[in-house]
Amino acid sequence: MKLFPPSAAALLLSAALPLTVPAAYAADTTKKGYGQGTAVDGQNRPLSAAQFSQQYADLGAFALSRDDKRIIITFDQGYENGYTSKILDTLKEKNVQAIFFLTGDYAKKEPELVRRMIAEGHTLGNHGMTHASLPVLSEEAARDEIMSLHNYVMNNYGYQMQFFRCPCGEYSDAALETVQKCGYKTVFWSYAYVDWKTDAQPDKSEAMKKLCNSAHGGEILLLHSVSSTNAEILGDVIDALRAKGFTV
């Protein structure tokens, strides 16, 4: 089976995130919920994202990259709603590589789209085999949640994933440590808005305003490919972010 080398997006993100070493303490198992919050610093970066990245750098977990000229676009891929092909068309047209965080269900049901992501230079990220909340699992079960999908993607697509996104935005220090022990970095986000409700899609002009006004260096932007609004405005968003001087 052909093994795919790391994509351009994966190499860029690896360079943008600091090197880390395994933590040497007993990690807290308390479940926490991540959110970027609304307070920002003088560079328009959400304070919660910056604090998270600083607090958990030793566990290989980040919500911002250290490249203050770059915005990284990521998509959570839990299920297919017919918009991913259009999103991929736009990314190809705009010469942008994104990160697609796959669940096991998506990896198994959408081989054509997954292979297209790989072929067009995007990064595949691990979003859990069953999208289970890691903090409620035992360490053994959490490891299986991560590595069963890792091995499935390796065996079926010849692709080695290296970035994990915690399902439901839920984590604990112990869960982050488990992710790191599996050879992964945990990637949260520094901006997301409610775009995943397929029966209550945000207005396109309002979505554009949110995404442009929230732009900041080192941003890790979370979008959902099930959003019709995202699919429609993505090209305009990329153009607007570049017009602000960012590399996307």
**What's the CATH code of the domain at 133?**
3.20.20.370
Q: Is residue 123 a part of any domain in this protein? A: yes
Q: Is the pLDDT of residue 138 over 70?
A: yes
Q: Is the pLDDT of residue 167 over 70?
A: yes
Residue 241 binned pLDDT confidence (cut-offs 50, 70, 90): very high
Active site residue 224: yes
Q: Which residue has the higher pLDDT, 110 or 10?
A: 110
Domain that holds residue 133: 48-243
Q: Is the pLDDT of residue 15 over 90?
A: no
Instruction: Answer yes or no: are the C-beta atoms of 73 and 97 closer than 8 Å.
Output: no
Amino acid type, 32: K
Task: Over range 18-41, report the average pLDDT.
Answer: 75
- Supply the pLDDT for residue 24: 45
The Cα diameter of the chain in Å comes to 49
Q: Which residue has the higher pLDDT, 116 or 10?
A: 116
- Supply the pLDDT for residue 16: 58
Active site residue 76: yes
Instruction: Answer yes or no: are the C-beta atoms of 169 and 20 closer than 8 Å.
Output: no
Q: Is residue 38 a part of any domain in this protein? A: no
Q: Is the pLDDT of residue 26 over 80?
A: no
Q: Is the pTM of this model over 0.85?
A: yes
Q: Is residue 149 a part of any domain in this protein? A: yes
Q: Is residue 110 a part of any domain in this protein? A: yes
- Supply the pLDDT for residue 38: 93
Cα dihedral 81, 87, 89, 93 in deg (nearest 10):
170
pLDDT digits (tens, 9 = 90+) for 219-240: 999 999 999 999 999 999 999 9
Q: Is the pLDDT of residue 109 over 70?
A: yes
Q: Is residue 42 a part of any domain in this protein? A: no
Q: Is residue 11 a part of any domain in this protein? A: no
Distance CA 100, CA 162 (A): 12
Task: Over range 57-78, report the average pLDDT.
Answer: 96
- Supply the pLDDT for residue 23: 45
Count how many domains the chain has.
Answer: 1
Q: Which residues have CB under 8 Å from 71's CB, separation 6+?
A: 215, 216, 217, 219, 221, 241, 246, 247, 248
Residue 10 binned pLDDT confidence (cut-offs 50, 70, 90): low
- Supply the pLDDT for residue 28: 85
* 164: helix, strand or coil: strand
List 122, 150, 216, 224, catalytic entry: 224
Q: Is residue 212 a part of any domain in this protein? A: yes
Q: Is residue 35 a part of any domain in this protein? A: no
List 76, 122, 150, 173, catalytic entry: 76
Range with the poorest average pLDDT among 1-5, 49-53, 131-135: 1-5
